[in-house]
Structure 1
Amino acid sequence: MIIMPAVDIKNGKCVQLVQGKPGTEQIVLDNPAEVALEWEAKGANVLHVIDLGGALEEGGNIQVVEEILKNVSVPVQMGGGIRTMDDATHLLNIGVDRIILGTLAIKHPETVELLSREFGSERIMVALDSKDSKVVVRGWMEKTDQTAPQLGKIMENKGAGGILFTNVDHEGLLGGFRVEPLLELLESVDIPVVYSGGVSTLEDVATLSQTDAYGVVIGSALYKGTINLEDALAYENK
């Protein structure tokens, strides 16, 4: 299970929000590229970069993403604000190893098929963000009528090479999470699933390491020090 530190970008800064809501910034750091380099130096093998400004339709931070890509040598998976095929193609061409499609994939599933065919399915991940058991889109502001297992199967059939499953009910709260929704999704698909949301302690990491999750994204807990990255990395090979 791969440990993926989160580098969330808003207004050019590295931030951590509570449940993705604007105005709930708990951590604000000036230089996201430096933050990314620090996680790499501490042993991270993959970085999880999200353009929150793009996701919330406040204006993107692509220049900041480009700066991160120039500075780090580990793979970067990136999502947030990828609204068009051109957006997706640009990111894949500038060195993002794997893009994470949310709203675009769910509203236009054919884009997953086209991008997977052109760039390889392993570079295309679909974000399934679950709130009250339903998938939400547009920066978690719009609820669909489908569950993560239902959409996961559709996206797998369209050629997605992986799924990012975020439990929005627990995101940024540092209060732990229920593992059952993840297990339901894992039973529904055969492609890798990365979990995000509410991972607060090493015990949470240990719980996830006992599932078939491919990876886990950790954000607030790393920035607030309730999880030490080096300790979490001990679970990568378990």
Structure 2
Amino acid sequence: MIIMPAVDIKNGKCVQLVQGKPGTEQIVLDNPAEVALEWENKGASVLHVIDLGGALEERGNTSVVEEILKKVSVPVQMGGGIRTLDDATNLLNMGVDRIILGTLAIQDPTTVEILSSEFGSERIMVALDSKDSQVVVRGWTEKTDQTAPELGKIMENHGAGGILFTNVDHEGLLGGFRAQPLLELLEAVDIPVVYSGGVSTLEDVATLSQTDAYGVVIGSALYKGTINFEDTLAYEKK
């Protein structure tokens, strides 16, 4: 299991929101590239970068992503605001190691096939964000009528090389998480699954390390100091 620190970008800054809602910023740091480098220096082997501004219909964080890619040497997986094939292609050509497709992939799974065919499936991940057991899209504002296991299998069949599973019910709340939704998704698919949402203690990390999750994204808990990043590396299996 790989431990992936989250670097969420909004208005050119590194932020942490509660359940992805604008206006709930609890952490605001001025230089996302320096933040990313700090995580690498502490031992991160993969960085999880999300353009929250892009996901929320804002634009203008591409230059910040370019700065991060120049600053760090470890792989960067990135999502948020990837609405077209051109958006996806530009990021992959820019040097993002793995892109995370959300609404675009769910509304048109053929985009996953096209990108996987051109760039390799290992560079294409699909985000399945679950709220009340249903997958939500458009920055978590619209519900679909499908569950994560159902959509996970569809995305796997269309060539996705991995899934980012976020339990929105727990995101940013530092209240722990329920493992059952993750276990159901892991049972349904054979491709790697990265978990995100509500990881707030080392015990949570230990619990996840006992599953078949490929990785775990940790955000608020690292920035608020309820989890020490170096301590999580004891649970990292590469």
TM-score normalized by the length of structure 1: 0.99
Residues of 1 paired with 2:144 and 2:62: CA distance? 28
Instruction: Report the residue type matching 2:101 in the other structure.
Output: L
Partner of 1:219: 219
Displacement of 1:194 in angstroms is 0.1
Matched, 1:54 2:44: no
Query: Helix, strand or coil for the counterpart of 1:234?
Result: helix
Partner of 1:117: 117
2:155 is the counterpart of 1:131: no
Residues 67-87 of structure 1 deviation map (CA, whole Å, 9 limit, x = unaligned): 000000000000000000000
Q: SS state of the match for residue 135, structure 2?
A: strand
Q: Which amino acid aligns with 1:113?
A: E
| Partner in structure 2 of residue 189 of structure 1 | 189
Give the Cα–Cα distance (whole angstroms) in 1 for the partners of residues 97 and 19 of structure 2: 26
CA distance in 2, matches of 1:237, 1:171: 24
In the alignment, structure 1 residue 209 sits paired with structure 2 residue 209? yes
Structure 2: runs of 5+ lacking an equivalent: none
Query: Tell me, what secondary structure is at the counterpart of 2:6?
Result: strand
CA-to-aligned-CA distance 1:101-120 (integer Å, 9 cap, x gap) = 00000011000000000000
Q: Which residue of 2 aligns with 1:147?
A: 147
CA distance in 1, matches of 2:186, 2:118: 26
Q: Distance in 1 between matches of 2:46 and 2:233?
A: 11
| Alignment map for 1:40-51 (pairs within 5 Å) | 40-51=40-51
Code of the residue aligned with 2:234 in structure 1: it is A
Q: Deviations over 1:121-147 (max 9, x none)?
A: 000000000000000001001110000
Matched-pair identity in %: 90
Provide TM-score, normalisation by structure 2.
0.99
* 2:19 corresponds to 1:28: no
Q: Does structure 2 conserve the Cα–Cα contact (< 8 Å) formed by 1:15 and 1:29? A: yes
Q: Which AA in structure 2 matches 1:212?
A: D
SS for the counterpart of 1:90 is helix
Partner of 2:94: 94
Q: 1:233 maps to which residue? A: 233
Superposition map of 1:154-165 within 5 A: 154-165=154-165
8 A contact 1:51–1:60 mirrored in 2: no
In the aligned structure 2, how far is the partner of 1:237 from the partner of 1:62?
32
1:59 deviation in Å?
Answer: 1.8
- RMSD of aligned residue pairs (Cα, Å): 0.7
Paired residue type of 2:132? D
Distance 2:237 2:33 in 1: 27
Moved over 2 A (4+): none
Find the aligned partners of 2:119 and 2:236 in 1 and give their Cα distance. 27
| Alpha-carbon distance in structure 2 between the residues aligned to 1:14 and 1:33 | 9
In structure 1, what residue type is equivalent to 2:142?
E
Q: Deviations over 1:2-53 (max 9, x none)?
A: 0000000000000000000000000000000000000000000000000000
Match of 2:99, SS? strand
Contact 1:129 1:167 in 2 (8 A): yes
Distance 1:101 1:58 in 2: 17
- Equivalent AA in structure 2 for residue 174 of structure 1: L
The one-letter code matched in structure 2 to 1:163 is I
Unaligned residue ranges in structure 1 (runs of 5+): none
Contact 1:60 1:81 in 2 (8 A): no
